[in-house]
Amino acid sequence: MRVAGGILFHGDYMTRETFLTITPLGGLGEIGLNCQLWATGDSMVMVDCGLMFPDDDHLGVDVVIPHFGAVAAVRDRLLGIVLTHGHEDHIGALPWLVPQLRGVRIFGSRFTLALVEHKLREHDVLDCVTLCPVDALSVVQLGDLVFHFFPVCHSIPEGFALGVDTPVGRIVHSGDFKIDPNPVTGPGTDLALFRDFAGPEGVRLLFADSTNVLREGRSIGEREVKESLGHIFDRADGRIVVTLFSSHIQRIQEVFDLARERGRTVVISGKSLANNIEIARDLGIAHLPPQFFNAHNGVPDLPDNELVFIVTGAQGEPLSALSRMVLGGHRQLSVRKGDTVIMSSRMIPGNARAISRLVNEMYRLGAEVLYEQCHVIHASGHAQRDELRELFRAVRPECFVPVHGEYEHLVKHGRLAVECGTAADKVIILEDGLPLTMLKEGFRLEDRVPVERTLVDGKGVGDVGTSVLRERRILGDEGMVIVVLVLDSATGSVLHGPEMLSRGFVFEQQYSHVLEDAKCLVLDEIEAARPGQITRIQEGIRASLRRFFRLVLERDPVVVPVITEV
């Protein structure tokens, strides 16, 4: 049996089968890169299109995006892209996808699409798409898939869960969510909407956010954070510096409100922060305080106890406003003695070392630093186990697929589903590239599709792979030796060199005797070859010098012979 365009071929005859195939292109086994392709016999829709930021192994890489080969193959059938919310791990890869699609419709909330518009305009690809704003409780039909947009509470405005009517039954995709019974702003997560959509029989399939499945209890409410921040504002005698995710408009608004109530002037610094605040203000989501400045345009001369700064850099990013304020690279601002620095965000895995260095340096400068582990200054936007149990009770899924998490999160979320009543054989732990086909009765797993991550480095997309990263790693670990030679093309005799240049390998003066011995090996390789055998000489120099350096110094640098014939 084989499948082509929704038609199953059995020997010499074919039958039409009702199905929905969901192919995860990212977001399973990692935090980030969220992207799914939903396909029926008549429809093709993408849900989210996110990126992931590089880890320590991705030397020099800017961002990581999904492999879009599976999308390119069906682009003529793609009816639209549906976005749950505006975080980078759900919208960030769009600039690299939409040029391949031309004219695709993108559905999302006003705030989400405003972020998308700005991003696509920066990449000069805005004309490739049609932006289609939807509101809470909107219903959008794309072929035989009908999307219902349910508002949810998250750490960014206007996030949605999805209730989807499909040919094989109703499906819920939670998006990123938490359940805050008393949100500061917005409608929160109304489980009654989920219960009504599920009906008395429950939904056929649930996809749910696994980020905080390892945490028992409930996530902290945003009102608790605002109350804690208020106490800090009351105790601070000097300047207050708040760093947070630039998309957390609700938290930014809390700081605005506290500053207005305490008579402090707000100064912001950071391009993404300024952009997001402007978008939120234009949409009526954020309301600026009476005294508001962008540090790029100048900082008011006021007493320390009348200032509060909101800056980027909560993850210790080297070019962020906070890092530059600490390390002396900011033209207008600096962290100094008497400041209270509030790091109002969670620490993303992989950033701990950079954040720790920044915290220590701020203490060295005389500032007091407050962070999540010690103070209630951040609330996660992701549901913990008690909230996840509430979602299970609301939708009562027949089948369950955990998403948005590393593999441990997915497994333990699957166990929680069984605890909440889903049959163990109906809990499906998917991985990126493993399609799930839901049928009228039952389901099956299809053959894997290629989903190797695509690395973006500058303007290069996909031209940095495993071999390039391996070379960068070697360069970083062992350094490089460049051998410069000029040879007579007729006789093969040496006209200049060999000249040995060390970059990141050894101090040339300290190890000059080693480099002199290496020159002798180079001359031996030249004598062993005939004139014109440049490739053989280069390979011989490379091999003999690497053996020599491993023997003498126990190092294995990259050896680059540069040979010119005249």
Please compute the mean of the pLDDT values over residues 132-160 and round it to a whole number: 97
Asked if residue 154 has pLDDT above 70, the reply is: yes
CATH code of the domain containing 272: 3.40.50.10710
Residues 172 and 244 in one domain: no
Confidence of residue 6 (pLDDT cuts 50, 70, 90): very low
pLDDT: which is higher, 413 or 346: 413
Confidence of residue 7 (pLDDT cuts 50, 70, 90): very low
Asked if residue 215 has pLDDT above 60, the reply is: yes
SS percent in the chain: helix, strand, coil, step 5: 35, 25, 40
CATH code of the domain containing 545: 3.10.20.580
Tell me what pLDDT residue 9 has: 36
Residues 473 and 438 in one domain: no
**Tens of pLDDT, residues 14-37:** 446 899 999 999 999 998 899 999
Tell me what pLDDT residue 431 has: 94
Strands 399-403 and 340-343: unpaired
Tell me what pLDDT residue 172 has: 98
Tell me what pLDDT residue 15 has: 46
CATH code of the domain containing 76: 3.60.15.10
Residues 146 and 290 in one domain: no
Residues 417 and 390 sit within 8 Å (Cβ to Cβ): no
Residues 6+ apart with CB under 8 A from 148: 137, 138, 139, 162, 163, 164, 165, 197
Residues 239 and 434 sit within 8 Å (Cβ to Cβ): no
Residues 404 and 210 sit within 8 Å (Cβ to Cβ): yes
Q: Is residue 459 part of a domain?
A: no
How high is the mean pLDDT of the chain? 89
The amino acid present at 484, given as its one-letter code, is: V
Q: Is residue 460 part of a domain?
A: no
Percentage with pLDDT > 70 across the chain: 91
Strands 129-133 and 104-108: parallel
pLDDT: which is higher, 492 or 331: 331
Q: What does the alpha-carbon distance between residue 83 and residue 89 come to, in Å, rounded to a whole number?
A: 11
Confidence of residue 74 (pLDDT cuts 50, 70, 90): confident
Domain end call among 354, 371, 388: 371
Asked if residue 8 has pLDDT above 70, the reply is: no
Asked if residue 518 has pLDDT above 80, the reply is: yes
Q: What does the alpha-carbon distance between residue 83 and residue 133 come to, in Å, rounded to a whole number?
A: 10
335-370 burial code (b ≥16 CB/10 A, e <16): beeebbbbbbbbbeeebeebbeebbeebeebebbbb
Q: What does the alpha-carbon distance between residue 34 and residue 46 come to, in Å, rounded to a whole number?
A: 11
The amino acid present at 143, given as its one-letter code, is: G
Q: Is residue 6 part of a domain?
A: no
**Cβ neighbours, 10 Å, residue 54:** 18
Rounded to a whole number of angstroms, the distance between the first and last alpha carbons of the chain is: 64
Residues 238 and 270 in one domain: yes
Please report, to the nearest 10 degrees, the dihedral formed by the alpha carbons of residues 314, 320, 321, 324 taken in order: 110
Residues 171 and 28 in one domain: yes
Q: What does the alpha-carbon distance between residue 240 and residue 252 come to, in Å, rounded to a whole number?
A: 14
Domain end call among 388, 415, 447: 447
Q: Which has the closest alpha carbon to 225: 163, 287, 178?
A: 178
**Tens of pLDDT, residues 283-315:** 999 999 999 999 999 999 999 999 999 999 999
Residues 58 and 87 in one domain: yes
Tell me what pLDDT residue 452 has: 81
Name, of 268-277, 350-359, 443-452, the range with top average pLDDT.
268-277
- The DSSP call for residue 83 is -
Please compute the mean of the pLDDT values over residues 520-541 and round it to a whole number: 83
Going through 340-453 in order, the beta strands assigned E by DSSP cover: 340-343, 368-371, 399-403, 436-439, 443-445
Environment class of 507 (CB within 10 Å of its CB; exposed 0-12, middle 13-18, buried 19+): exposed
Residues 154 and 101 in one domain: yes
Please compute the mean of the pLDDT values over residues 219-244 and round it to a whole number: 96
pLDDT: which is higher, 536 or 89: 89
Please compute the mean of the pLDDT values over residues 509-524 and round it to a whole number: 82
Q: Is residue 56 part of a domain?
A: yes
**Tens of pLDDT, residues 366-423:** 999 998 777 899 999 999 999 999 999 999 999 999 999 999 999 999 999 999 999 9
Q: Which has the closest alpha carbon to 193: 148, 158, 133?
A: 148
- Report the predicted TM-score, pTM, of the whole model to 2 decimal places: 0.83
Residues 290 and 417 in one domain: no
Domain end call among 338, 371, 404: 371
Read off the tokens for 170: 């109703």
Please compute the mean of the pLDDT values over residues 542-549 and round it to a whole number: 88
**Tens of pLDDT, residues 461-512:** 554 555 555 666 656 667 888 888 888 777 878 888 788 887 777 776 677 7
Q: Which residue segment(s) compose the domain that 486 sits in?
A: 466-565
Residues 204 and 286 in one domain: no
Residues 389 and 487 in one domain: no
Count of domains forming the chain: 3
Tell me what pLDDT residue 58 has: 54
Q: Is residue 12 part of a domain?
A: no
Asked if residue 536 has pLDDT above 90, the reply is: no
Confidence of residue 349 (pLDDT cuts 50, 70, 90): low
Tell me what pLDDT residue 56 has: 58
Lowest mean pLDDT, pick from 7-21, 78-92, 355-369:
7-21
